[in-house]
Structure 1
């Protein structure tokens, strides 16, 4: 069993950046197919998506050009979970979005996996 230690904020930020880099490279669907729990959910404005719908959405969406993470904070949840909360700014062409996000990670089968992800316009 892996315990949460003081490196949890760095570990979860590393995982979140890996997801964003995959999205920028057009590999978001493949990344999240590996990185999510079987029962993962994504909460977005107007919808709640299950794992299969999330993967399909990442695969069909055009990649973002840039992203920045601001004001990260981590909430520890027991020994095998944590929630990363932050503000994101992402650009695609002339479009810029500002979002408040949270990603709940569970340590499962030797890796940190996304159990839930929430996005709210900032």
Structure 2
């Protein structure tokens, strides 16, 4: 199988849903332990969080629900791509509207998260 295939957008969107589903279940830390590269980061307004701190912060933390839309995949070569999308979610009953991007790298036979960024929609 080649790293970049015609079904890449569907594959990355599916993987992004798996991450959000893990966050809703409360096992985001475990999920992202396997899904992230060793040097991955989470970028939020005002901070850049290293992989270990991401996993610790996400384990047990939950979101009530989420809905993704406006997906766009930008291929960055044979083994890299960025998924950009909008996500409307809620945590503890408070709604959040975000633009998000996840940079994926094809590594060790699978697509892994290299970075994830969230920016609030104004």
For residues 19 and 4 of structure 1, the distance between their equivalents in structure 2, rounded to whole angstroms, comes to 21
| 1:38 aligns to 2:38 (yes or no) | yes
Shift of 1:30: 0.1
Matched-pair contact (CA < 8 Å) for 2:71–2:84 = yes
For residues 58 and 71 of structure 2, the distance between their equivalents in structure 1, rounded to whole angstroms, comes to 23
Aligned pair count? 121
For residues 39 and 30 of structure 2, the distance between their equivalents in structure 1, rounded to whole angstroms, comes to 17
Calculate the TM-score normalised by the size of structure 2.
0.95
Moved over 2 A (4+): none
Partner of 1:119: 118
- Unpaired segments of 5 or more residues in structure 2? none
Matched-pair contact (CA < 8 Å) for 1:2–1:80 = no
CA RMSD, 1 decimal: 1.1
Partner of 2:20: 20
For residues 6 and 18 of structure 2, the distance between their equivalents in structure 1, rounded to whole angstroms, comes to 20
Matched-pair contact (CA < 8 Å) for 2:30–2:55 = yes
Partner of 2:73: 74
Matched-pair contact (CA < 8 Å) for 2:44–2:117 = yes
| 1:91 aligns to 2:90 (yes or no) | yes
Matched-pair contact (CA < 8 Å) for 2:64–2:93 = no
Cα deviations by residue, 1:56-101 (Å, 9 ceiling, x for unpaired): 111153x111100010000001001110000100012420000000
**CA separation of 1:56 and 1:41: change in aligned 2, threshold 3 A:** same
